[in-house]
Structure 1
């Protein structure tokens, strides 16, 4: 039993296939426009091409990942594999075993024509699993392999988990909190790199500084080393004056770039360098020796965004869509 693969599956965004899964003893995926998948060769490229033909409006960046799901459903999932289905309807985790090969049944349910029969072995309350296991089966993908916490689900199939996992004893809480934060940080940085490449990032930094209480404006286009001027007074004539350079690249900033910004500072002025990437050790050493210089890397930029996001205008919130959620905090029982 320990050798079979384990798959997680979701029943649509709102759990609309829940009754199909549990009442008809099957699992299913959408992609109805792709037609009968068994007519394709056992090759990911064939699935990718069929997906592009079926959904020409699909975004290019995610085609390989999304088209890989029907491929895995047909060719990687095997009879005997275990299936984990966290139901949004009854709040139970249903565990089953794949009983047969791929079937194409467009007449039965137009939304989910690609099916495989499953015998459901056990249904387990969510509270009997660690936070880490629940996080893994909460994947954003509709079909995915369960690996990190597979043994925990196997134990549930064998009836070895019967009580709710105490939060105090759940060592995965810290891991989950960190993974959620890391995922959000990665999303923000990727979104910034995608939506604010080049000059638009300067506009974003202007808006962020305004949300922080500064008056900020862009300098003339192509002015070397200084992209933004920020100040506290309305006219911009009272110190301190902050000169800002912005880099939208994710590469490491060199000390040459930082020195160029610093060379633009007059007595009493401050320098701020903002990048989506990081800084070389020489840059950090240079910063430590200068009381009027501040280097903001991608991680610290995300921190500032989190703090001031509620002050963003509708346009910037739309370009960087986030919503407030609560994540577990590790309990200190010391």
Structure 2
């Protein structure tokens, strides 16, 4: 709840805020999901979930809970007297108001967004005047969500004129630090999600991924057939046959258990003097295994899951399309 004991909701005015002017002019907020029809008779969340499934049979089942939850909140959880805001990306401003009406089904007002509520608009708050933390909390892509307590309180203070505008250009040093912290947080989350994707590969795909990584680094690879590989899964070299140096012999272990010193010794047992070793273990390595690799007679690199993902990120754009399909990723641009 906000400082005046009212819950605050964000209700987006359609994609890119296309209904923002209508929201203001007609004193309403509205949402879509028009194929669900009149929602007046629906009560509990389960009823909304069933209606979503019936109305959108071709949608991914994973999207049902989010859709049902947002519609349920609009119809049942938003109360008369709650605060509400909506955003105009072109104007970079938030329209702030108070909910004054119960849920209405109004297809004649808007066929695309027939579910609406009456609102009394109070004023506007410019996005540039908000703190980085509040801007971030309002950046969710959901059509409808509850605004965090601290963000709601800041918006109310600005609306009442109790807070001074924050000069955002050039950004204050503390704002820059907050943006940098946010970037690091997103980077960290992205890294963990990529690790999750890599972990979900089966052993054969993991082997293909490691081979693809080596090809991106300029080597040609040969993958051992299924069955006994005599301590090697992949051989990488400039010529692809293993005649030219460097000849890199690769072992891939895709399991949760850490590899110990015995596994490293077994791997090193059949190596030639000019070989280079790469041991990939998604379960990591024990301290003894790392010690064994350090004192090996040939150079050996141990690559755990973190190392593998870091190398994948460094080489991703040079990897062939089949390898990129194993771990599909998209680039995210961030202000420097």
Short-chain TM bin = 0.7 to 0.9
Question: Residue 57 and residue 222 in structure 1: after superposition, are their counterparts in 2 closer, same or farther (change >3 A)?
Answer: farther
Provide the secondary structure at the position in 1 that maps to 2:15: coil
What residue in structure 1 maps to residue 286 of structure 2?
A: 283
Answer yes or no: is 1:175 the counterpart of 2:181: yes
For 2:18 and 2:101, the matched residues in 1 are separated by 23
Provide the secondary structure at the position in 1 that maps to 2:17: coil
8 A Cα contact 1:98 1:119, kept in partner: yes
Provide the secondary structure at the position in 2 that maps to 1:149: helix
8 A Cα contact 2:125 2:155, kept in partner: no
For 1:32 and 1:259, the matched residues in 2 are separated by 63
1:211 to 205, 211, 216: 216
For 1:222 and 1:9, the matched residues in 2 are separated by 58
Q: How far apart are 1:274 and its partner, in Å?
A: 4.6
Q: How far apart are 1:54 and its partner, in Å?
A: 1.0
1:7 to 6, 9, 12: 9
Q: Which structure 2 residues correspond to residues 1-334 of structure 1 after superposition, within 5 A?
A: 2=3, 3-42=5-44, 44-147=45-148, 149-159=151-161, 160-165=163-168, 166-170=171-175, 172-192=178-198, 196-223=201-228, 226-237=232-243, 238-247=245-254, 252-255=256-259, 259-260=262-263, 263-265=266-268, 266-267=270-271, 268-275=275-282, 279=284, 283-291=286-294, 292-297=300-305, 299-317=306-324, 320-327=328-335
8 A Cα contact 2:232 2:249, kept in partner: no
Q: How far apart are 1:127 and its partner, in Å?
A: 1.4
Q: Tell me the TM-score normalised to structure 1 length.
A: 0.82
Q: Gapped runs of 5+ residues in structure 2?
A: 295-299
For 2:153 and 2:40, the matched residues in 1 are separated by 32
Which deviates more, 169-178 or 258-267?
258-267
For 2:265 and 2:24, the matched residues in 1 are separated by 65
Question: Residue 320 and residue 150 in structure 1: after superposition, are their counterparts in 2 closer, same or farther (change >3 A)?
Answer: same
Of structures 1 and 2, the larger Rg is shown by 2
What residue in structure 2 maps to residue 332 of structure 1?
A: none
8 A Cα contact 1:84 1:95, kept in partner: yes
Q: How far apart are 1:51 and its partner, in Å?
A: 0.8
Q: Gapped runs of 5+ residues in structure 1?
A: 329-334
For 2:197 and 2:133, the matched residues in 1 are separated by 26
Which deviates more, 181-190 or 21-30?
181-190
For 1:261 and 1:114, the matched residues in 2 are separated by 64
CA-to-partner distance for each residue in 1:194-249, whole Å, 9 max, x for gaps? 6x4553333333222222223234321355775443334432233442313152x7
For 1:223 and 1:134, the matched residues in 2 are separated by 57
Question: Residue 203 and residue 255 in structure 1: after superposition, are their counterparts in 2 closer, same or farther (change >3 A)?
Answer: closer
8 A Cα contact 1:287 1:293, kept in partner: no
For 1:28 and 1:116, the matched residues in 2 are separated by 6
Which deviates more, 10-19 or 56-65?
10-19
Provide the secondary structure at the position in 2 that maps to 1:263: helix
Q: Tell me the TM-score normalised to structure 2 length.
A: 0.81
What residue in structure 1 maps to residue 297 of structure 2?
A: none
Number of residue pairs the alignment of both structures matches: 317
8 A Cα contact 1:86 1:93, kept in partner: yes
8 A Cα contact 1:217 1:230, kept in partner: yes
